[in-house]
Amino acid sequence: MPALTSVSGFPRIGANRELKKIIEGYWKGANSLDDVRATAKELRAKHWKLQAEAGIELIPSNDFSYYDQLLDTAILLNAVPQRYQRLAFENAEDTLFAIGRGYQGERGDVTALPMKKWFTTNYHYIVPEIEPSTDIKLVGEKPFEEFAEAKALGILTKPVFIGPYTFLKLARNPQAEELNFDRGLINATAAAYAEILTKFAALGAQWVQFDEPYLVLDKEPGDVELFKALYAKILPARESSNGKVKLLLNTYFGHIADIYETVNLFGFDGIGLDLIEGKDENLAAVEKFGVAQDTTLFAGVINGRNIWRNDYAVSLGLIDALKQKTDKVAVSTASSLLHVPFSTAGESGLSDEVRKHFAFAVEKLGELKDVAELAQFDDDAKRSSQTLQGNQALFDGTRVAEDPAVSQRLAALSDADFVRQPARTERQQLQREALNLPLLPTTTIGSFPQTKDVRAERAKLRKGEIDQASYDEFIRGKIDEVIAHQEQIGLDVLVHGEFERNDMVEYFGQNLNGFLFTKNAWVQSYGTRCVKPPIVWGDVSRANPITVEWSAYAQSRTKHWMKGMLTGPVTILNWSWPREDVSHELQTKQLALAIRDEVLDLEKAGIRIIQIDEAALREKLPLRKSDWHVKYLDWAVPAFRLVHSAVQPTTQIHTHMCYSEFNDIIRDIDAMDADVISFEASRGDLVVLDAIHDANFETEAGPGVYDIHSPRIPSEHELEERIDAILEKIDAAKVWINPDCGLKTRGNTETWPSLTNLVEAAKAERARL
Ligand code: GLN
Ligand code: ZN
């Protein structure tokens, strides 16, 4: 019998982003909530059928979500903060959207709940709030309805949930720095999850999956006890009068070696192990502690985080290693497939020769089946398998030739190429004199609203309906407009608006050698927002100057400083699909040299302030502390320094990061040696400001003063309070005033009033200093 196959989760946005389109249409008033519900139902059915047709045995349900699965979990467990309940929407979906995006209207004015990156992915989850008054209990019907929906189609699904341990570890108490895991909270949470199991046992489900990715993180004191307290109460609930449901404890994004022994002793029906990211440690733990008699190990061998074809021989080797310890091995995706695009089928722009190297979600279903099938073969049968031979051929030959110019340049680098002179404090003084900016200078992060007209013009160019010259003329017009507007409201450091860019990574990739692009390979980032990462295919170098002409044009149109705008090497790699045949370090260094060329060309063209975005630097920080430096920061930080080390002392280098959670690596951020950093800070708490204060952070800082992920307009008063909070922690001489992030996803209607309030708030604060 071939091994059992299991999918942890499937993309829900739709092959053509149907879910995104219908929900955004609803927000704009273009369609009804019933339309949204109908599309959602169609998509669920389509995705279940696809998996059933591929022959997958354990097909997930409840992996669907209108916005985010952790938000769904909070709602299911009755953790909806009062302020959203008070809006008193008739439809549950409206409450859900208000929590995710904030709400400003006749029912009230509330900000959204904070959003954070889901482990090391570019997916963002909504941070649940648990207050002492929160009464955790199972209240929602969504998972049961979806199970019934699939059953009506003849598909018995495996309902999936974010597990209780991960839920509690990711939730926060808005009134305190840490959530207090008291008996009451633990018991209530365990009781709710126990009820989920009992109900599904009664409904005839065979398997339920609890995802516990938080188990792959370092354990803090009390964590193991918390895990044990929860599951000791939950596991007995598998039995109901109608029969027993099996529980799969699923882990991913790393290894659980430090708790495997405990997990194994519980006798879960299934344990899901990530054999891509946590491979060596997970295998060693299984080797050391064995496998409980009735436990099936779910071997996560199909990568849910990258799009290259699976190397079957490697996967079979991993399965064999587990089989040394148990004959109960199922084959699974290493994580949810939420983080890869839908299907390669639509990528007609890629030749077959190229496309055959990739597997998106749909193709990964086939891989899962192949591996499960091959895993039962003996060595002879494997050797003569066409499937295996065909797969092997993908990895045997050379896929791309190395570019000798790139390797020579890398080999010629010396330590001095990674150090900018003179020291930063000295530079900052020189820059103050040269740039002559007011205290609390105001600026934005780079992009301005990419309105319909901008996208329409780009589409026309792509379809050949207009020529490059008229497109460029249009962009120049947009730049003129946005400059005039910024001057009018009184911003200090201007930007050109990034209208020429479809995306901050793809745009650069298009001007670099070694990249490939897709048409439709979208991945959900947050809510309805999706991204389309390019693919690193070969050695990278700059093909031609990328932004120089636009920045020079913009600078020529204003007397204010115009900030040049680049994407940094770490972010380009983190937001692309990286190669698997060479290291991330090498790919990042190649990118650093390419962007370095661009920095120096911008400087030559008269740009005095250059921002190098490292929006995604924090995102890929390894989950375990012991890996932070050796596996990442030790090369990521130098790569950034390599990009800017050769500029003049008076050229001011900015960087920007989405996501402010870098309290623990604050010295590493300072070591990037930028002159100024702006970062997202308005949705979360402000502990990062304490960290900046305590670390004697040298880099000047612009903690974002308002949330750009929400359409609401912050009042001047609210912004002044925010600035006050910042000035309490950081010396005013080193503070910049800016929004959280770029404004490209916003509309002009909210952007300009918000920025006007920002400028006025900065002026009022300045007057008080
Ligand atoms: N400069 C980019 C912009 O303004 C930065 C975007 C980002 O940090 N995600 O859009
Ligand atoms: Zn950002």
Contacting residues for 176 by C-beta, under 8 A, at least 6 apart: none
Q: Which ligand is nearest to the CA of 742?
A: 1
Residue nearest (by alpha carbon) to ligand 1 atom 10: 742
- 607 in a labelled binding site: no
Q: Which ligand is nearest to the CA of 447?
A: 1
| CA atoms 596, 597, 598, 601: torsion sign | positive
The whole-angstrom separation of Cα 234 and Cα 237 is 6
Q: Kindly report, residue by residue over 685-726, the tens digit of the pLDDT.
A: 678 999 999 999 999 999 999 999 889 999 999 999 999 999
The DSSP result for 429-489, as a single string, is HHHHHHH-PPSS-B---SB----HHHHHHHHHHHTTSS-HHHHHHHHHHHHHHHHHHHHHH
- 718 in a labelled binding site: no
Q: Kindly report, residue by residue over 422-463, the tens digit of the pLDDT.
A: 999 999 999 999 999 999 999 999 999 999 999 999 999 999
Q: How far is the CA of 68 from the centre of ligand 2 (A)?
A: 20
Q: Which ligand is nearest to the CA of 502?
A: 1
Atom of ligand 1 nearest to the CA of 744: 10
Q: Which of 47, 584, 709, 717 is catalytic?
A: 709
3-state secondary structure of 275: coil
pLDDT at 685: 62
| Cβ–Cβ < 8 Å for 575, 616 | yes
Atom of ligand 1 nearest to the CA of 742: 4
- 43 in a labelled binding site: no
The whole-angstrom separation of Cα 229 and Cα 342 is 39
3-state secondary structure of 65: coil
| Cβ–Cβ < 8 Å for 343, 15 | yes
Residue nearest (by alpha carbon) to ligand 1 atom 9: 615
Q: Kindly report, residue by residue over 72-120, the tens digit of the pLDDT.
A: 999 999 999 999 999 999 999 999 999 999 999 999 999 999 999 999 9
pLDDT at 574: 96
With the most atoms of ligand 1 within 8 angstroms of its CB, the residue from 115, 117, 447, 566 to mutate is 447
Q: How far is the CA of 284 from the centre of ligand 2 (A)?
A: 39
With the most atoms of ligand 1 within 8 angstroms of its CB, the residue from 482, 504, 530, 574 to mutate is 504
- 445 in a labelled binding site: yes
Q: What's the mean pLDDT when you consider all of the chain?
A: 96
Q: Kindly report, residue by residue over 675-686, the tens digit of the pLDDT.
A: 999 999 876 667
Q: Kindly report, residue by residue over 614-640, the tens digit of the pLDDT.
A: 999 998 999 999 999 999 999 999 999
| Cβ–Cβ < 8 Å for 269, 207 | yes
pLDDT at 401: 87
Task: Confirm whether 709 is a catalytic residue.
Answer: yes
pLDDT at 397: 86
pLDDT at 687: 85
Q: Kindly report, residue by residue over 111-160, the tens digit of the pLDDT.
A: 999 999 999 999 999 999 999 999 999 999 999 999 999 999 999 999 99
Task: Name residues contacting ligand 1 (CB within 6 A).
Answer: 445-447, 498, 504, 565, 613, 615, 656, 658, 741-742, 744
What separation, in Å, do the N-terminal and C-terminal C-alpha atoms of the chain show? 76
Q: Kindly report, residue by residue over 276-304, the tens digit of the pLDDT.
A: 999 999 999 999 999 999 999 999 999 99
Backbone angles phi, psi at 167, to 5 degrees: -60, -50
Average pLDDT over residues 184-209: 97
What interface predicted TM-score (ipTM) does this complex get? Answer: 0.99
Confidence of residue 662 (pLDDT cuts 50, 70, 90): confident
pLDDT at 684: 63
Span of 48-57, 208-217, 527-536, 681-690 with lowest mean pLDDT:
681-690
Atom of ligand 1 nearest to the CA of 658: 8
Q: Kindly report, residue by residue over 548-579, the tens digit of the pLDDT.
A: 999 999 999 999 999 999 999 999 999 999 99
With the most atoms of ligand 1 within 8 angstroms of its CB, the residue from 122, 124, 445, 546 to mutate is 445
pLDDT at 691: 94
- 613 in a labelled binding site: yes
For a pLDDT cut of 70, what percent of the chain falls above it?
100
pLDDT at 661: 80
pLDDT at 326: 97
Q: How far is the CA of 294 from the centre of ligand 2 (A)?
A: 47
Average pLDDT over residues 658-662: 80
